[in-house]
Amino acid sequence: MRRRRRWRPGGRHVLLVLLAVFLALPLYLALVVATHSAASVLRGVPVVPGNQLGANLATIFGPGIPGTPSITTMLANSAVMALSVAVLKVVLSVPAAYAVTFFHFPGRRLAFALIFVTLMLPIEVRFFPTYAVTAHLSLLDTRTGLILPLIASATAVFLLRQSFRAFPLELADAARLDGIGPLRFLTSVVLPLTRPILAAIFVLEFIYGWNQYLWPLLVSSSASQATIVMGVKEIISASQSFAVPQWNLVMAITLVALVPPVIMVVLMQRWFVRGLMSGIN
Amino acid sequence: MAFSHRVLPILLLLPELAVVGIFFLWPSVQAIGEAFQETNAFGLRSHFAGLANFQAALQGGYGQAIEVTVAFTVLTAVASMAFGLFLAVQVEQTGRWRTLYRTVFIWTYAVPGAVAAALWLFLFEPQIGPGARLLGALGVHWNFALSGPQAFGLIVALTVWQQTAYDFVFFSAGLQGIRTDVLEAASLDGAGPITRFWRVVMPLLGPTVVFVAVMDVLAALFGSFAVIDVITQGGPAGATTTLVYMLYRDGFQNGDVGLAGAETILLFVLAGILLAVQVRVLNRRAHYR
């Protein structure tokens, strides 16, 4: 057989590690800055961690940066929002995807088309009229108004439909012959077998919910409704109004704000990739 | 297709369709109405304005906003897909290290856009940012608050930093779905690594590539708001004002309802064109599966 030149595995590892380090630089820097005092950051950005992390965390969770909402409130609001969006998306998408995959009924194509259209209408496209509708329903500055407009999800319905379609039809036929109704078939056969994709959707949508910026910025006008992500810009400008810019506090807050979604994707990684596989292949 | 009920599937669809109706269709109809009306300064009376709002929308920075949006979308989508696919292919071949590598390349996707913007804003802050100092040492006169191309480049680089991770995840999932016996068969037939990649892996990856391309275009067109709002607020001189950012400014900062309605309709048209393209491409690609 002809011998071929191959990538030496060593070379690949060197390249991948370098890339990983490069991608992580902004995060490392934030971590370092969050462990120093504001004055030492101003003197020259440090490259090794200092010992002020505790003090900085105590400041952001205690008095906070003047003129910004309390961090604990913002974190709680973000958590409620992300969990509600993730749970409600799954709760809405599962029956919808089940209906358009496993049933023959008049209007099936129309229903599917309606859901398909939402893929092209993310909140950034429809925020202006949606704001008017939300105001009309007296839902401005409420949790309901924050969450409901975000929970119809074409992506989730598609990923579920793809995974339902790969389902052995014999199972469904057998179930029908055994007199098992469609709802019991869904809960006792389909859902247990599609757990990875459900987990993947939950992760995707949790991150989607946590990371929302524009919609909360428009809807949640009072400090008690603010989320941590929408607060970032305000926090940065408040930190610049000091004689010494408080970048150390800003970085500490950004770290706190990125931990939940990052932990979520890292911990659920195995399920996440496996679930997506069943959804897109 | 196992069950043929008439009422049950409608009931199953009802919650999803209710949300679609209230928060997608109703606003869309509303936007069409607003786009053709002119409201006086006190918001008390409005009258039919014909195409006046559209004319107003298409004047003033619209041309520039379209250029910025298209350039931004093409650059970020192409770069993220190329990097994402490259990483996925490399990581898939690392055997037992795969899970570890996946973790170190996946996390940037989960970072909220506004938070990523804060990290990068500090990194490239013209006076004390380490990235800015590095560029200064290399002879670049760095100040993204004054230079349009620098501001645009910063936003593009940051978006690629995040979007590459997203593409990497989906490409990894897609690559894992390719059966190894297909690759072994190609290998036995004498296909080298490069031939195997372009002739076997890429066609089988087709649907994933299309899905990722669509998601990247959507993310670039509509998802970049947080990053722009935190770092540049559309400036300098409109260099980072995308269509969505312009709509936000006209609608919420300038409070021009008719103009914002017209701009919303133009975004809908853009989304509709994308939808049509997507349906065509998906149909053409379907035979691979």
Residue of B nearest to A259 (CA): B111
CATH of the domain at A103: 1.10.3720.10
Rg (C-alpha) for chain A, rounded Å, is: 24
For chain A, say whether B118 makes contact (Cβ under 8 Å): yes
For the residues B77-94, what does the mean pLDDT come to? 92
C-alpha torsion sign, points A107, A108, A109, A110: positive
Any domain includes A167: yes
For chain A, say whether B103 makes contact (Cβ under 8 Å): yes
* Amino acid A9: pLDDT: 62
All residues of chain B having their beta carbon less than 8 Å from the beta carbon of residue A12 are 90, 93-94
All residues of chain A having their beta carbon less than 8 Å from the beta carbon of residue B264 are 125-126, 128-129
Residue B1 pLDDT more than 60?
no
Any domain includes A3: no
Using omega within 30 degrees of 0 as the cis cutoff, is the peptide bond preceding B236 cis? yes
For chain A, say whether B112 makes contact (Cβ under 8 Å): yes
Instruction: Indicate yes or no: CB of B244 within 8 angstroms of CB of A111.
Output: no
Any domain includes A119: yes
All residues of chain B having their beta carbon less than 8 Å from the beta carbon of residue A42 are 128
For the residues A62-90, what does the mean pLDDT come to? 92
For the residues A202-225, what does the mean pLDDT come to? 92
Of the pLDDT bands very low, low, confident and very high (cuts 50, 70, 90), residue B230 is: very high
Of the pLDDT bands very low, low, confident and very high (cuts 50, 70, 90), residue A6 is: low
Phi, psi of B287 (to 5 degrees): -70, -15
Judge contact between B57 and B266, C-beta under 8 A. Answer: yes
* Amino acid B44: pLDDT: 55
For the residues B49-59, what does the mean pLDDT come to? 73
Any domain includes A20: no
Of the pLDDT bands very low, low, confident and very high (cuts 50, 70, 90), residue B55 is: confident
All residues of chain A having their beta carbon less than 8 Å from the beta carbon of residue B208 are 280-281
Any domain includes B69: yes
Judge contact between A188 and A173, C-beta under 8 A. Answer: no
* Amino acid B208: pLDDT: 83
* Amino acid B283: pLDDT: 62
ipTM topping 0.90: no
Number of domains in chain B: 1
Q: Which of A98, A213, A266 sits opposite B113 (nearest CB)?
A: A213
Number of domains in chain A: 1
Look up residue A4 and give its amino acid. R
Judge contact between B117 and B125, C-beta under 8 A. Answer: no
**Where in the sequence is the domain holding B188, given as residue range(s)?**
62-240
Question: In chain B, positions 162-221, which contact chain A (CB-CB < 8 Å)?
Answer: 169-170, 172-174, 176-177, 192-193, 207-208, 211, 218
Suggest the residue from A2, A273, A278 to mutate for an interface test with chain B (most B CBs closer than 10 A). Answer: A273
Of the pLDDT bands very low, low, confident and very high (cuts 50, 70, 90), residue A134 is: very high
- Per the prediction, chain A carries an average pLDDT of 86
For chain A, say whether B253 makes contact (Cβ under 8 Å): no
Asked which of B11-20, B121-130, B268-277 is least confident by mean pLDDT, the reply is B268-277
Residue B287 pLDDT more than 50?
no
Any domain includes A98: yes
CATH of the domain at B166: 1.10.3720.10
Angstrom CA distances, B68 to B77, B115, B138, B173, B236, stand at 14, 23, 27, 32, 12
Percent of chain A with pLDDT over 90: 36
Number of Cβ within 10 Å of residue A173's Cβ equals 11
Residue of A nearest to B18 (CA): A152
CA proximity to B275, closest of A122, A159, A161: A122
* Amino acid B286: pLDDT: 45
* Amino acid A8: pLDDT: 60
For the residues A169-178, what does the mean pLDDT come to? 81
* Amino acid B177: pLDDT: 78
Judge contact between A182 and A102, C-beta under 8 A. Answer: yes
Paired residues of B3 in beta bridges: A103
For the residues B114-118, what does the mean pLDDT come to? 95
* Amino acid B289: pLDDT: 37
Phi, psi of A242 (to 5 degrees): -80, 160
**Where in the sequence is the domain holding A235, given as residue range(s)?**
70-242+261-280
Asked which of A5-14, A212-221, B39-48, B125-134 is least confident by mean pLDDT, the reply is B39-48
Residue of B nearest to A78 (CA): B112
* B198 or B114: which leads in pLDDT: B114
Any domain includes A230: yes
